[in-house]
Amino acid sequence: METGLKGRPILVTGASGGIGAATVRLLVAEGADVIASGRNEEVLSKLADETGCRTLSFDLTSEEAVKEALDGIELFGVVNCGGWGGEIATPMETDMAVFDKVIDINARGTLLVTKYASQNMVKAGKGGSIVNVSSQASLVGLAGHISYASSKGAVDAMTRVSALELGKFNIRVNAVNPTVVMTPMSEWYWGRDEIGGPFIETMPLHRWATEDDCAAPIVFLLSDGASMISGVTLPIDGGFTAV
């Protein structure tokens, strides 16, 4: 399938993480002009050496930093992949400082990038596509995920409203909602037999997702092949939310 992404400038936040980096690699392979953003400049530098992408670092929690970084940048696409997992806690035990930080990065950061990127896209008048990386935690109740699920529920709501508001400018907005990607960061919790075991047994495909499993649908939603898709939240969960 021809994606139509060749030469198109696409910003990927959270590119120093697994899903973000995999998305950068796949977009570069499709010929896109990728701008990779993230907190770890050393990782971004290595990714740039590997793929030839451009890099742009800024603080997702600072409106001034986001505004300054995106000022005047022409964009066709945005992947809002920057995020933070927070803690594992019940509503009775949650640390409100952690809750505030998760909301600040995951929800507010997504909105800030959308705000200033979409202004540039509207001015350019060429349409475009925004893909927000949400989570299956926004679709079902997951024990211990009160802060993270709240932040991703907000991302899903932003996706729908942004699709409504930006559609008249031919800008599509969608979200992907991945299941667990078994990274070293995830292993400490989901790798426990008593937690991950029942979860993986419930999932029809009976396996964890990979970064590439998540990157491919993101690139599809950016592409011309998804030109009539907007306002959706797409589970990438091996069928978990269907049962």
Q: How confident is the model at residue 183 (pLDDT cuts 50, 70, 90)?
A: confident
Q: How far is CA 114 from CA 12, 82, 142, 185, in A?
A: 12, 12, 27, 27
Q: What confidence tens digit (pLDDT) does each residue in 194-216 have?
A: 999 999 999 999 999 999 999 99
User: What integer is the mean pLDDT of 94-99?
Assistant: 98
In the block, residue with structure tokens 């396996």: 207
Query: Is pLDDT at 140 greater than 90 in this prediction?
Result: yes
Contacts of 104 (CB under 8 A, 6+ apart): 61
Give the pair of three-digit tokens for residue 52: 């030839």
pTM of the shown model: 0.96
3-state secondary structure of 55: strand
Residues forming the active site: 148, 152
Span 9-234 CATH architecture: 3-Layer(aba) Sandwich (3.40)
For residues 240 and 179, is the Cβ–Cβ distance under 8 A?
yes
Q: What is the pLDDT of residue 112?
A: 98
Domain locations in the chain? 9-234
- For a pLDDT cut of 90, what percent of the chain falls above it? 93
